[in-house]
Structure 1
Amino acid sequence: MKEARSSSWSDLLPEILGLVLRRLPSLADRVRLRAVCRPWRSNAQLDPLPPLLPWLTLLDGTFLSIPDGKIIRMPIPDKGFCRGSVDNWMFFVHNSDGDCSLMNLFSKATLNISKLDITWLNGNSRYYNSHFYKLMAPLPLESSPGSLVALEGGGRLRICQPPIAVDLWLHLDDITFFNGKLYGLNGNVLSIFEINYGLNGKPKISSVRCITSYPTFTLRPPQPLPRTCLLLSYLVECCGRLLMVKRMIGCNPEIKPCPLESDRTAGFQVFEADLSTKPGQWICVRELGSQALFVGMHCSKSFPAGECTGVEENCIYFMRDYFPANLAADPLSDSGVYNMKSGNIKPLLSETAAVPQHRGGQWRPTWIFPADAM
Structure 2
Amino acid sequence: MATLSWSDLPPDLLVLVLECLPSLADRVRLRTVCHPWRSNARQHSLPPLLTLPDGTFLSIPDGEVIRMPVPKDARCCGSVDSCLFLMEIDGGCSLVNPFSRVTVELPKLGTVGCYNSFNVTSEHKPVIPSALDLSPDSLVAMLILHDRRGSKVCICQPPIATDMSSARASWPFDDIAFFNGKLHGLGDRNKLFVIDMDYESDKPKITSIRCIISYGYGLRDLPQSVSREKVHKKREYLVECCGRLLRVRRFFQSDHHGRTSRYLKHHNTVGFDVFEAGMSANSGQWRKVNNLGGQALFVGRRSKSLPAVEHNGIQRDCIYFLRDYCPTKDPLRDSGMYNMRTGMITPLLSETVAVPQLHGGNWCPTWIFPYY
Say which SS state the counterpart of residue 49 (structure 1) adopts.
Answer: coil
Distance 2:312 2:256 in 1: 39
Partner of 1:106 in structure 2?
Answer: 99
Partner of 1:93 in structure 2?
Answer: 87
| 1:213 maps onto 2:214 in alignment | yes
Partner of 2:334 in structure 1?
Answer: 334
Distance 1:364 1:370, change over 3 A: same
Partner of 2:316 in structure 1?
Answer: 313
Distance 2:214 2:254 in 1: 29
Deviations 1:79-134 (A, max 9, x none): 11001100011111111x31111112222111111112254479xxxxx9942211
The correspondence for 2:277, drawn from 258, 273, 276, is 273
| Percent of paired sites with the same residue | 50
Deviations 1:273-325 (A, max 9, x none): 111135711111111122100000x100001112753211111000111225x
Please report how far the alpha carbon of residue 49 of structure 1 lies from its aligned counterpart in structure 2 after TM superposition.
Answer: 2.3
Distance 1:321 1:278, change over 3 A: same
Distance 1:256 1:360, change over 3 A: farther
Is the CA contact (8 Å cut-off) linking 2:197 and 2:204 kept in structure 1?
Answer: yes
The correspondence for 2:125, drawn from 120, 130, 134, is 134
Distance 1:205 1:307, change over 3 A: closer
Partner of 2:238 in structure 1?
Answer: 235
Distance 1:256 1:156 in 2: 30
Distance 1:219 1:331 in 2: 30
Is the CA contact (8 Å cut-off) linking 1:82 and 1:92 kept in structure 2?
Answer: yes
Deviations 1:197-217 (A, max 9, x none): 475x12211111000023352
Distance 2:276 2:19 in 1: 32
Distance 1:202 1:57, change over 3 A: same
The correspondence for 2:267, drawn from 263, 269, 273, is 263
Say which SS state the counterpart of residue 321 (structure 1) adopts.
Answer: coil
Distance 1:312 1:184 in 2: 28
| 1:290 maps onto 2:289 in alignment | no
Partner of 1:69 in structure 2?
Answer: 63
| Residue correspondence of structure 1 range 358-373 to structure 2 within 5 A | 358-371=358-371
In terms of Rg, which structure is larger?
Answer: 1
Letter of the 2:344 counterpart: N
Runs ≥4 residues deviating over 6 A: 14-17, 22-26, 31-34, 42-47, 255-261
Is the CA contact (8 Å cut-off) linking 2:186 and 2:193 kept in structure 1?
Answer: yes
| 1:148 maps onto 2:139 in alignment | yes
Say which SS state the counterpart of residue 130 (structure 2) adopts.
Answer: coil
Distance 1:320 1:195, change over 3 A: same
Distance 2:72 2:107 in 1: 18
Say which SS state the counterpart of residue 25 (structure 2) adopts.
Answer: helix
Structure with greater contact order relative to length (CA < 8 Å, sep ≥ 6): 1
Say which SS state the counterpart of residue 144 (structure 1) adopts.
Answer: coil
Unaligned runs of 5+ in 1: 1-13, 35-41, 123-127
Please report how far the alpha carbon of residue 167 of structure 1 lies from its aligned counterpart in structure 2 after TM superposition.
Answer: 1.6
Letter of the 2:152 counterpart: R
Please report how far the alpha carbon of residue 371 of structure 1 lies from its aligned counterpart in structure 2 after TM superposition.
Answer: 2.2
Is the CA contact (8 Å cut-off) linking 2:24 and 2:66 kept in structure 1?
Answer: no
Is the CA contact (8 Å cut-off) linking 1:21 and 1:49 kept in structure 2?
Answer: no
Is the CA contact (8 Å cut-off) linking 2:92 and 2:107 kept in structure 1?
Answer: yes
Partner of 1:195 in structure 2?
Answer: 197
Distance 2:289 2:101 in 1: 38
Distance 2:361 2:121 in 1: 18
Is the CA contact (8 Å cut-off) linking 2:226 and 2:251 kept in structure 1?
Answer: no
Partner of 2:153 in structure 1?
Answer: 157
Say which SS state the counterpart of residue 138 (structure 1) adopts.
Answer: coil
Partner of 1:8 in structure 2?
Answer: none
Partner of 2:4 in structure 1?
Answer: none
Please report how far the alpha carbon of residue 143 of structure 1 lies from its aligned counterpart in structure 2 after TM superposition.
Answer: 5.4
Say which SS state the counterpart of residue 139 (structure 1) adopts.
Answer: coil
Say which SS state the counterpart of residue 306 (structure 1) adopts.
Answer: helix
Give the TM-score normalised by structure 1. 0.81
Partner of 2:350 in structure 1?
Answer: 350
